[in-house]
Amino acid sequence: MVAATFLAACTTPFGAAPGIHIENIDGPAVRVVPWSGAPSVIAACGSGTDVSLKGAPPLPWEFRIYDATTDRQLFSKSLSSKTLYVIVRADGVLWGTEPGSGGPAPIRGCH
């Protein structure tokens, strides 16, 4: 089971608001679908990306994250803000409207 935890306001090397900022620290490769009809974005383990908001429909958006290999849904949220920071970890997905530290260093690393 994957837990979602709200991020506290900390620092991260990733993008500035507004936007959707994805950082995959030690999780599986993920497929991010920012809103219905949007092109998917892949974030491999150990990488990150900013999702373009170009062509985005009016809020709210149904934001989803899937395991890119198994297509199992890892996270979903109805977004009412154009700013979202997401950190994918081996044991869950962290999210918030402010950047976060991502927690402790990876234990197992990327495989």
Q: Which domain holds residue 17?
A: 3-96
- The verdict on residue 80 lying in a domain is yes
For residue range 26-61, list pLDDT tens digits in order: 999 999 999 999 999 999 999 999 999 999 999 999
- The verdict on residue 111 lying in a domain is no
Domain tally, the chain: 1
For residue range 74-111, list pLDDT tens digits in order: 999 999 999 999 999 999 999 999 888 877 788 777 86
Classified as helix, coil or strand, 13 is coil
- The verdict on residue 103 lying in a domain is no
- The verdict on residue 90 lying in a domain is yes
- The verdict on residue 104 lying in a domain is no
Compute how many other C-beta atoms are within 10 angstroms of the C-beta atom of residue 59: 11
Which CATH number do you get for residue 51?
2.60.40
- The verdict on residue 39 lying in a domain is yes
